[in-house]
Amino acid sequence: MIRLGATGERLAKWLISLPPTLFLLVFFVVPSLIVVLASFRYPGEFGGLASLLPLGGEASGLTLSTYRFFFSDYVYFEIFLKSFLVAALTTLICIVMAYPLAWLIARSPKKRRDLLVLLVILPFASNFLIRVYAWIIILGPFNLLYTSFAVIVGMVYVHLPFMVLPLYTNLEKHDPVLLEAAQDLGANAWTRFWKITFPLSLPGIFSGSVLVFIPVLGMFAIPELLGGVGDILIGNLIKEQFLDNRDWPLGAMLSIMLTIAVLALAGLSAWAGKGKGRMA
């Protein structure tokens, strides 16, 4: 790019990197560490966090009691499990729905392709709550509102574009020559798809899945607005601790559990991505 003298280079490097780094350090890294710390504190007598220093009256200092509480009963595990299942189901449905669309876009001539992509993104332009509200209107008269079905529909609806885009990006790069060759060798349409297209598209499916799975894990608005009383996911639990129960240590602990789950998934996808690597 621009060639500078050695010291000028270093100075510019610092000046350019410092402001965003500092900002994110203060407003992202530090708060995250505070969450970790909060999970080890006692809950305040009236909500919030108890003080770190002994003030007399209430428990203070650090403790593992919140973690022990979490592991002492399995209802919270059930909710984590349910959240993973909902995320998995949503991802699966998104893959099935997105595939034909992504293929169509990938195989279309360039000009039409941009239009088709834009048409996929435009609903995403509407506010996420509006997209949920639309389903409240539609499902209400059918008595399907406040059910698990409604939650899944809402989740799929909100996250579908995230599956279409990486998938079509991947499919676009497939060399049509491969399919032609297979056809010449006598393979039928299904075999061609299953043995050639699908395996080559796996990295795209993977990227899309990560983009759907992780946000779904943390959602609370969709279960709250579309789901019934029992449709609680991790996000709802966390929100409840902070805004209803005022049990901040438990909320912090649940957030940490969610973070670990997400990091594990991200790590898994990065490792798998490296393995398969070519056409991500």
Partner 1 sequence: MSKNAKARRKTTWPALLCALASLRFLLLLPFFAAPAARAADTLYLYTWNNYISAETVQRFEAHCRCRLKQDYYSDNEEMLAKLDAGASGYDLLVPTGNAVEALIRRGALRPLDHAQLPHLGNLKAEFMNSWFDQGNRYSIPYAYSITLLGYNIEKLRELGLPTDTWALIFEPEYLAKLKGKVTVLNSQRELMAAAMKYLGYSVREKDPAKWEQAKRLILRAKPYWATFSNSTYIKDLAIGNIWVAHGYSNDMFRAQQDALAAGRPFTVGFSTPKEGAVLALDNFVLHKSGKRPDLAHRFIDFMLDGENAADVSNLIGAGNPNGAATPRIKPEIAGNPAIFPTAQEVGRLEMLRDFDAKSRRILSRMWTEIKVR
Partner 2 sequence: MKPWLWAASLSVYAFLYVPLAVVVLFSFNDSALNAEWVGFTTAWYAKLLHNPEMLGAAFNSLVIAVISSSVATVLGAMAGIAMHRYRPRFMPFLTLTPVAMPEILLGVSLLLFFRQILDLTLGMFSIVIAHITFSIGFVAIIIRARLAGMDESIFEAARDLGATPWATFKRVTFPLILPGIVAGFLMSFTLSIDDFVITFFVAGVGVSTLPLQIYSMIKVAVTPEVNAVSTLLMLLTLSMIALASRFAPDVLKGKG
Using CB distances below 5 to 8 A depending on partner kind, what does residue 274 bind out of partner 1, partner 2, none? none
Using CB distances below 5 to 8 A depending on partner kind, what does residue 229 bind out of partner 2, partner 1, none? partner 1
Which range of residues in 54-62, 69-77, 112-120, 177-185 is near partner 2 by CB under 8 A? 112-120
Using CB distances below 5 to 8 A depending on partner kind, what does residue 237 bind out of partner 1, partner 2, none? partner 1
CB contact burial 153-192 (16+ within 10 A = b; e otherwise) = bbbbbbbbbbbbbbbbbbbbebeeeebeebeeeebeeeeb
Instruction: Write the interaction track for partner 2 spanning residues 151-190; mark x where CB under 8 A is met and - where it is not.
Output: ------x--xxx--xx-xx---------------------
Which range of residues in 63-71, 142-150, 190-198, 240-248 is near partner 2 by CB under 8 A? 240-248
| Max CA distance (Å), the chain | 83
Contacts of partner 1 in 125-144 (CB under 8 A): none
Q: Is 250 in the site for partner 2 (CB under 8 A)?
A: no
Contacts of partner 2 in 8-37 (CB under 8 A): 8, 13, 16-17, 19-21, 23-25, 27-32, 34-35
CA–CA distances in Å: residue 224 to residues 2, 129, 131, 219, 246: 52, 12, 14, 9, 18
The residues, ordered by sequence, that sit 6+ positions from 201 with a Cβ below 8 Å of its Cβ are 167, 170, 171, 174
Contact with partner 2 (CB under 8 A) among 75, 125, 185, 229: 125
Contacts of partner 1 in 174-233 (CB under 8 A): 228-230, 232
DSSP 151: H
CA gap 109, 178 in Å, rounded:
19
Q: Is 243 in the site for partner 1 (CB under 8 A)?
A: yes
Contact with partner 1 (CB under 8 A) among 63, 67, 69, 187: 69
Contacts of partner 2 in 257-276 (CB under 8 A): 258-259, 262, 266
Host H or E run for residue 13: helix 6-24
Contacts of partner 1 in 38-57 (CB under 8 A): 42-48, 50
CB contact burial 71-93 (16+ within 10 A = b; e otherwise) = eeeeebeebbebbbebbebbbeb
Q: How many CB atoms lie within 10 A of CB 51?
A: 15
Residues in the chain: 280
Q: Residue 169: helix, strand or coil by DSSP?
A: helix
Contact with partner 2 (CB under 8 A) among 53, 55, 75, 130: 130
Structure tokens at 24: 């994110």
Contact with partner 1 (CB under 8 A) among 28, 64, 78, 199: 78
Which range of residues in 71-79, 84-92, 103-111, 269-277 is near partner 1 by CB under 8 A? 71-79
Residue with tokens 């490097």: 13
Which range of residues in 71-79, 142-150, 194-202, 256-264 is near partner 2 by CB under 8 A? 256-264
Helices (H), 108-187: 110-125, 128-139, 148-172, 176-184
Q: Is 121 in the site for partner 2 (CB under 8 A)?
A: yes
Host H or E run for residue 254: helix 248-276
CA gap 161, 131 in Å, rounded:
13
* Chain residues in the site for partner 1 (CB under 8 A): 2, 4-9, 11-12, 15-16, 19, 42-48, 50, 58, 69, 73, 75-76, 78-79, 146, 228-230, 232, 237, 240, 242-247, 250
